[in-house]
Amino acid sequence: MLADYLTRIKAWAGEYRGDIAVGLLVFFISMASFGLGRLSVLLDNHSPIQISNPLDSSKDAPIMVAPGDSQVSSGALPDGRLSGATSVNGSYVASKNGSAYHLTTCPGAKQIKESNKVYFYTKEEAESAGYRPAGNCPGLNQ
């Protein structure tokens, strides 16, 4: 009975010899590619990425001042605007030399030099400082 099965398997393998060879070739090439990929990761000696807070090393690290807060800290201007601060969710930014304010995610905001950026917490703060909404900032004029 076992000999009968072996005979059938040999007959089937002889009939599909080309297909079996292509299948095995694809299998071994894919295994070799996977192994080389894993090997490249193991041999990679790059230093790890280090994330640091850029505000720690800055000499004028801004501290966010809440609207109406009488205490003005480093990085904040006397009228409550933030100079040189990093963006926070929901904040607005304008240029010292410009007349329009943007959301921090707007393309126009990304074109303002970091040294010229002035930050606001609300639209009202920006408008009371003399800025108007930017026309090319989607979502700002709602």
* Proportion of the chain above pLDDT 90, given as a percent: 18
Look at 74 and 116; give whichever has higher pLDDT.
116
Cα 65 to the chain's mean position, in Å?
Answer: 27
Residues 123 and 140: their CA atoms lie apart, in Å, by 9
Residue 133's CB is within 10 A of a number of other CB atoms, namely 16
Q: Is 91 exposed, middle or buried (0-12, 13-18, 19+ CB in 10 A)?
A: buried
Q: What angle do CA 110, 141, 131 make, to 5 degrees?
A: 65
| Alpha-helix runs per DSSP H in 16-131 | 17-42, 54-57, 107-110, 123-128
Residue pair 122/92 in contact (Cβ under 8 Å)? The answer is yes
Lowest-pLDDT choice from 40-44, 85-89, 134-138: 85-89
Look at 32 and 51; give whichever has higher pLDDT.
32
Rounded to two decimals, the pTM is 0.39
Q: What is the pLDDT of residues 35-48, one digit of tens each?
A: 998 887 777 666 66
Q: Is 120 exposed, middle or buried (0-12, 13-18, 19+ CB in 10 A)?
A: buried
Q: What is the pLDDT of residues 8-31, one digit of tens each?
A: 999 988 899 999 999 999 999 999
9: DSSP letter: H
End-to-end Cα distance, the chain: 82
